[in-house]
Structure 1
Amino acid sequence: MNKCIIILLLCYLTAANLLFAQIAADFKADTTVICEGYSLHFTDQSISDTITNWLWNFGDTASHELDTSILQNPVHAYNTEGVYTVSLTASNFNYSNKKEKLNYILVRKLPDAIFTFTDTMFLPSYIFCFHGTVLNRDDSSYKYYWSFNQTSYQQGDTIAINTFPAAGNYVVSFMADAGAGCKDTVYNTVQVNDVLEAPNIFSPNNDGINDVFIVKSNGANEFELYVFNRWGATVYLETARRLQWDGRTSAGIKLPCGTYFYYITSPDIKEYKKAGVILLVK
């Protein structure tokens, strides 16, 4: 009799455990940001002793019948940019539980990177200013990387300034990274010249336009600038890697309008010599 009661009690407890078995559905994706056409691997992380069925919904109605899966750990490819809500319903023969993650997957277009560069009169010839952008950028963030030596990348912004070590041709690359390998890299060859150039007129009147006589050099070597008036007297002398003159004497006295003469040389390299005429106007 006692044996029968024990057997019945065990059967009752077993049935009760099966009847009231609880499920806490949960899952994760190997990443939540991808590019169009990339595939994601989803992993079931539901908690329960007995799960027999899985029903996934990837929120991707454009994929039609591929929008759902009954595998425990499925793979799904998203082919259209957008934000997607994903859900998993885990169940057994008498209980089910659904986990939904709103706006869980961000699908982005493969970035189309481009960059331009400039070598202006206001910068030494070895210094270039670079500006990169993404032509098809969206509202989400990007990471940007520059390489000026083709051996390593440095994370930065869309604007970069680089000083090259010498004259020559350099391959510069710009990378825009939208996440999870969703990136584009563009390359350009930059020709760096060793120059020594000077304007022939300037107007130091504080109007913000051509106020300073700027000598464009490579910015690496040291130069000497001599400015003479029409009687041959030295009115200004400067030694620097980047030469400029504001129309004053070395003592800071404003000079009158007129014609002046300059001579540029370098204590570093003898070939660096240049002479010319400057017209100072106001």
Structure 2
Amino acid sequence: MIKDITSTAATIAIAMLLPCLSFSQNFEADSVFTWQLVETNNIGSQSTLKFIPRTGVTPTGWDFGDSNTSTEVAPTHTYSYTSWDDSVTVTLNYTLNGESLSHSREIPVSPAFFFVFPDRNLGRLASYKRIFLNAYRIPNHPDSLGNLRFTWTVDGSPLAGNAFDDVALDQWPNIYYTFTTAGLHQVKLNVRNSNSGQTAEFTQTIRVLPDFTSGKVPLENIPNVFTPNSDGVNDNFIVPTSGTAWFDFRIFSRSGGLIYKAESSVLVWDGKNNQGTDMPEGVYYYVIEDLSGQYESAKGFVYLFRGKK
């Protein structure tokens, strides 16, 4: 029996278990079409996908990238694959607002393929923190799994936690993970069909920096100007870090008065003092000390320029 495992529960956001992420920002957000995995028993060699055009798009033809085509609006197609990292280029010919257009996407065919993202809220503020999303948008909810079971390993060791309360359901299909060391790490997702016993797996190599094995490292890419004017560009004073250190972060006025102080694992200042008042344009002095011993201390000047929105 074929069961669509991403239908009713697909609207349940991953944010239920990953607070920093929602489906409003995902790898399909700007696509002309999306796809869903349809559960089949033989996941070790085949993937069945359903393709869905975006609202307002009128399909005139699909090219599935394997010499097969369709003129259906939302077709379902089964791929056979021999390698875990096989992919196909799917093309949709369509009309939009009376114009004939074409859109292509490269799509992985292994049910175990996953994407890697930084923490949505922290980004480059925390390079050791990553989000791993299965390629088929199956959310972290028991009703969405069907017969599929997910198991994650990092560098050959099964991950602790990131699992359903019911141990029979194994781990979540999407996880949030903080690396503890720098370097190259092998992250693997194994997907098993509990009905047929067939499995699929996919491994990605993740490079994590900076490397603290030789001692403290300097803070890099410290900005000398930022523009907190709410235009969405360079609004904060941001210093990239691993996200695993613990900092004493202080901002002083040019005359030496302390205006902002925080202890945090990330380094970001929005141009306000500790009472929440916007500080005027000008030059400010920062002092950053790593209380955990990963980074060298840093001090210097930054120019706060508000400009125009």
Normalized against structure 1, the TM-score is what? 0.52
Q: Name 1:35's counterpart in structure 2.
A: 42
* Contact 1:125–1:219 under 8 Å retained in 2: yes
- Residue 200 of structure 2: which of 184, 201, 210 is its match? 184
Distance 1:206 1:37 in 2: 49
Following superposition of structure 1 onto structure 2, how do residues 174-253 of structure 1 map, counting pairs within 5 Å? 174-179=189-194, 180-194=196-210, 196-197=219-220, 198-253=222-277
Mark the CA change 1:239 to 1:117 in structure 2 (over 3 Å): closer, same or farther.
Answer: same
Q: Which one has the largest radius of gyration?
A: 1
2:163 is the alignment partner of 1:164: no
Q: Name 1:114's counterpart in structure 2.
A: 113
Following superposition of structure 1 onto structure 2, how do residues 45-124 of structure 1 map, counting pairs within 5 Å? 112=110, 113-119=112-118, 121-124=123-126
Question: Offset of 1:248 from its aligned partner?
Answer: 1.2
Distance 2:44 2:179 in 1: 39
Question: Offset of 1:213 from its aligned partner?
Answer: 2.4
Question: Offset of 1:126 from its aligned partner?
Answer: 1.6
- The amino acid of 1:145's aligned partner reads T
Question: Offset of 1:182 from its aligned partner?
Answer: 2.9
- The amino acid of 2:205's aligned partner reads T
Mark the CA change 1:183 to 1:210 in structure 2 (over 3 Å): closer, same or farther.
Answer: farther
Distance 2:124 2:229 in 1: 18
Question: Offset of 1:163 from its aligned partner?
Answer: 0.6
Mark the CA change 1:140 to 1:124 in structure 2 (over 3 Å): closer, same or farther.
Answer: closer
Distance 2:240 2:293 in 1: 16
Cα RMSD between the aligned structures? 3.8
**1:48-92 per-position Cα deviation (integer Å, ceiling 9, x unaligned):** xxxxxxxxxxxxxxxxxxxxxxxxxxxxxxx9989xxxxxxxxxx
Mark the CA change 1:156 to 1:256 in structure 2 (over 3 Å): closer, same or farther.
Answer: same
* Contact 1:108–1:178 under 8 Å retained in 2: no
Distance 1:134 1:114 in 2: 8
Question: Offset of 1:242 from its aligned partner?
Answer: 2.0
Q: Name 1:85's counterpart in structure 2.
A: none
Q: Which moved more, 1:164-173 or 1:200-209?
A: 200-209
- The amino acid of 1:218's aligned partner reads S
For the residue of structure 2 that corresponds to 1:247, the secondary structure is coil
Mark the CA change 1:251 to 1:145 in structure 2 (over 3 Å): closer, same or farther.
Answer: same
Question: Offset of 1:229 from its aligned partner?
Answer: 2.7
Normalized against structure 2, the TM-score is what? 0.48
Structure 1 consecutive aligned stretches of length 4 or more whose deviation exceeds 6 Å: 79-82
Distance 2:47 2:206 in 1: 36
Structure 2: give runs of 5+ residues left out of the alignment.
Answer: 1-38, 50-77, 82-108, 138-143, 164-170, 211-216
Question: Offset of 1:190 from its aligned partner?
Answer: 1.7
- The amino acid of 1:133's aligned partner reads A
**1:16-75 per-position Cα deviation (integer Å, ceiling 9, x unaligned):** xxxxxxxxxxxxxxxx9621899xxxxxxxxxxxxxxxxxxxxxxxxxxxxxxxxxxxxx
Q: Name 2:286's counterpart in structure 1.
A: 262
Question: Offset of 1:247 from its aligned partner?
Answer: 0.8
* Contact 2:251–2:261 under 8 Å retained in 1: yes
Q: Name 2:5's counterpart in structure 1.
A: none
